Amino acid sequence: MALKIEKDHQRFRQIVKGKIRKDLRKFLTRGELLGREGERTISIPVRGIELPHFRYGDNNDAGVGIGEGESGDPVDGQEGEMGPGGTQEGQHILEVEVSLNELADILGDELKLPRIQPKGKHAITSEKDKYSGIRSTGPDSLRHFKRTFRAALKRQIMAGLYDPDFPIVVPIKRDQRYRSWKTVKKPQSNAVIIYMMDVSGSMGDEQKELVRLEAFWIDAWLRRNYEGIESRYIVHDVRAGEVDRQTFFRIREDGGTKISSAFHLCKQVIETNYDPNEWNIYIFHFSDGDNSSESDSRECCRLVREVLLPKSNMFGYCQVASAYGSGNFINVIHEHLDKEDGVITSRVNTKDDIYDSLKTFFGAGK
């Protein structure tokens, strides 16, 4: 039985989502959100959902208790918590669990991101029959007994042929009911995100935190758009290597930077695992824009134009600000790849830029 309160509950969730949307810019910049990540849900503290009342203020924090204790002893279990008046701010923050998909929807709505159009003929991979309806013709093996007899009973009552004292119901052909099915097409587009990050000496913790946040939201949005998404992680300084997710965000190397090394590895990963005809491939590169040489930067551009771009839906380059380095790589990309459609760049100097950065990346709906 559906509960009456379901409607109120849904409305409440809707309001919560509205609040989250309003504060989205704030949430986007909050690292602690990531720590709250559960299996598929994330719990978000929602402020300001409580309605105001005239109530007592803070100079009211006293009460009566029962138990042991001398004068001056702390009242256990009361750390920072107020008495029965409930006057502490903290008590009014409601934590609400939101699924990652819901969060991505909010993100999409707020940033006005178009839904991604998966490419390729393999966008639809599975078809499933679902028995959801009833019709009056069909094979006997699908006959719905209960519905058939109900129809017969109805007909007999209408026709005045039904005698409650002698309850015999005989279906005729017109009463036969059969289960019917619908073919449900389940969109199952395969996608892979390849994250590449510069981990040379100039990328500090602050920069990595920016990357982590940006990557989290990129992940959330793409996951919303594709089922069965894969992620690959590549780090590089002068050499590149593939790592797992944990390492990706933690690893720290010293030394110089050769961005092309990562692009070469990326190419290799794609060529061995992901056929561009079947996969939607997303490539993101994070760096502080410092490369060892101009020639390597040019080599990178060549790789992107000739190899990576034809194979992928999008090549995103995200440059984080760093105290070191020239930050010149983004300019090189602009210079050489300006005409290319699938290349999108953005600068993220502070956490506040993530909002706009995401908009730049996914505004085109690819």
Binding site for other proteins (CB under 8 A): 3-5, 7-15, 49, 51-85, 87, 94, 96
Considering only the C-alpha atoms of the chain, give the largest distance between any 2 of them, rounded to a whole number of Å: 97
Which residue number, 66 or 159, has a Cβ lying nearer to other proteins?
Answer: 66
CB atoms within 10 A of CB 222: 23
Instruction: State in angstroms the smallest separation of the CB of 98 from other proteins.
Output: 12
Which residue number, 8 or 341, has a Cβ lying nearer to other proteins?
Answer: 8
Which residue number, 1 or 323, has a Cβ lying nearer to other proteins?
Answer: 1
Instruction: State in angstroms the smallest separation of the CB of 62 from other proteins.
Output: 4
Which residue number, 18 or 187, has a Cβ lying nearer to other proteins?
Answer: 18
Instruction: State in angstroms the smallest separation of the CB of 11 from other proteins.
Output: 4
Residue 118 has what DSSP assignment? -
CB of 198 closer than 8 Å to CB of 236: yes
CA 264, CA 281: separation in Å to the nearest integer?
Answer: 16
Instruction: State in angstroms the smallest separation of the CB of 75 from other proteins.
Output: 4
- How many residues are present in the chain? 366
CA 44, CA 108: separation in Å to the nearest integer?
Answer: 18
CB of 204 closer than 8 Å to CB of 322: yes
Which residue number, 54 or 145, has a Cβ lying nearer to other proteins?
Answer: 54
Q: Cα 103–50–17 angle (5° rounding)?
A: 15
Coil vs helix vs strand at 255: coil
Q: Which residues contact 345 (CB under 8 A, 6 or more apart)?
A: 316, 317, 318, 319, 330, 333, 334, 360
Instruction: State in angstroms the smallest separation of the CB of 151 from other proteins.
Output: 30
Which residue number, 10 or 295, has a Cβ lying nearer to other proteins?
Answer: 10
CA 362, CA 258: separation in Å to the nearest integer?
Answer: 27
Q: What's the chain's Rg over C-alpha atoms? A: 30
